[in-house]
Amino acid sequence: MALYCAGDIQGCDRALARLLALIGFSPSRDTLYLLGDLVNRGPDSVAVLRRCMALEGSVQVVLGNHDLHLLAVAQGVRAPSPRDTLGDLLAHPQRTAMLHWLRQQPLARQVRHGGQTMLLVHAGVLPPWSVQQTLALAGEVQRALTGAHWQSFLQQMYGNEPDAWREGLQGMDRLRVVVNALTRVRFCSAQGAMDFSSSESARQAPAGLMPWFELPERRTQGQLTVFGHWSTLGWMSRPDLLALDTGCVWGGSLSAVRFGNTLAEREHLQVECAQAQVPGAARA
């Protein structure tokens, strides 16, 4: 039995198929965790979702910003972006089943392996949150997405405020901070306020900002956290941090890691990807 994590697919099903072939993935034996942004920007989001649904149990996911964007566009509460490639999915006869499946997925997972645990998110974790609080807050969003008023949640989900966590936050302000942290954040101020205007690499942090994982008071330090979302950051492997978005949709590669007997034993695996989008100012 092998355990894998892989970065952002964004509708690049051929790359996903090549990755599964490269690792010799066996649904009866192996487990693959995907770090969100299953859909959009690439050529075949339908095939990616249908593959994940067929392999559910052996392939498990967390949601990313593009997955939430799909749900919002499908409900008519978000205008499509010029870069979107969601038309085939939105017109597909199995659209309802695919969107329903997507709504059931969490924004964070904790995985145990070799007597250790790792935290999986699409983008990041705010400094005041412990692992258990992160999972609990992700659960609040999942309940909103699967509840009776999920369309209303999507209507109010977007916005950059509040930009920081406060324990007294309630209602949509609370849920919006959680969504933005788990699916959108890259940089924060030293005080923990999120910035959404910059997508540069960590080495090019704008003045007054730093990568969310460099904030000195982050409570999840020491807990292996695995994330995607940040293609300009690229592959990064540290004892407590693993970044796996290597720009598949931009003509980079689709990266995965195979864990050995412990989470510290890691093998980097990747397949090259055909370019589906031309890099520009917005690489989300």
Give 107-135 pLDDT, tens digit per residue: 999 999 999 999 999 999 999 999 999 99
pLDDT given for residue 280 in this prediction: 66
Mean of the per-residue pLDDT values of the chain: 95
pLDDT at 178: 98
| pLDDT confidence of residue 284 | 57
What is the H or E stretch that residue 120 is in?
Answer: strand 116-121
Domain segments of the chain: what residues? 2-272
Q: In which order are the strands placed within the sheet that holds 194-195?
A: 194-195, 187-189, 209-211
Predicted confidence at residue 203, as pLDDT, reads: 82
Q: Determine the straight-line distance between the first and last CA of the chain, rounded to whole angstroms.
A: 33
Among residues of the chain, what percentage have pLDDT more than 90?
92
| pLDDT of amino acid 282 | 47
What is the per-residue pLDDT across 146-205, written as a single tens digit (0 to 9) for each?
999 999 999 999 999 999 999 999 999 999 999 999 999 999 999 999 999 888 888 888
Residues 6+ apart with CB under 8 A from 265: 259
pTM of the predicted model, to two decimals?
A: 0.96
Q: How confident is the model at residue 278 (pLDDT cuts 50, 70, 90)?
A: confident
Mean per-residue pLDDT for 213-235? 95
Q: Name the phi and psi angles at 157, rounded to 5.
A: -70, -30
The count of C-alpha atoms lying within 13 angstroms of the C-alpha of 224, restricted to the half-sphere facing its C-beta, is 21
Calpha distance 179→157 (Å, rounded)? 8
For the domain spanning 2-272, the CATH number is 3.60.21.10
Asked whether the predicted pLDDT for residue 283 surpasses 60, the reply is no
**Residue 282 in tokens:** 């917005």
Note whether 103 and 145 are within 8 A (CB).
Answer: yes
| Helical residues (DSSP H) of the chain, grouped into ranges | 13-23, 45-54, 65-74, 87-90, 95-103, 131-146, 150-156, 171-183
Length of the chain: 284
